[in-house]
Amino acid sequence: MVLSLTLISLGASIALGFVHEFTKEPIELSKLNKKIEAIKKVVPEFNNDPAAEMYKLPSEWGDSLEVYPAKKDNELVGYGVKTYSKKGYSGNITLVVGLKPDGTIFNITVLEQKETPGLGTKMVLPAFKDQFNDKNPASFKMKVKKDGGQVDAITAATISSRAFCDAVQNAYSTLKKGDLK
Greatest alpha-carbon span in the chain: 70
Are 68 and 159 within 8 A, CB to CB? no
Of 77, 78, 36, the C-alpha closest to 175 is 78
Distance (Å, whole) CA 38 – CA 57:
19
CB 170 within 8 A of CB 65: yes
Q: How long is the chain?
A: 181
pLDDT tens-digit profile, the chain (181 residues): 999 999 999 999 999 999 999 999 999 999 888 888 899 999 999 999 888 899 999 887 778 899 999 999 999 999 999 999 988 888 889 999 999 999 999 999 998 888 878 777 788 888 888 999 999 999 999 888 899 988 888 877 788 889 999 999 999 999 988 766 5
What CA–CA distance (Å, rounded) separates 69 from 80? 6
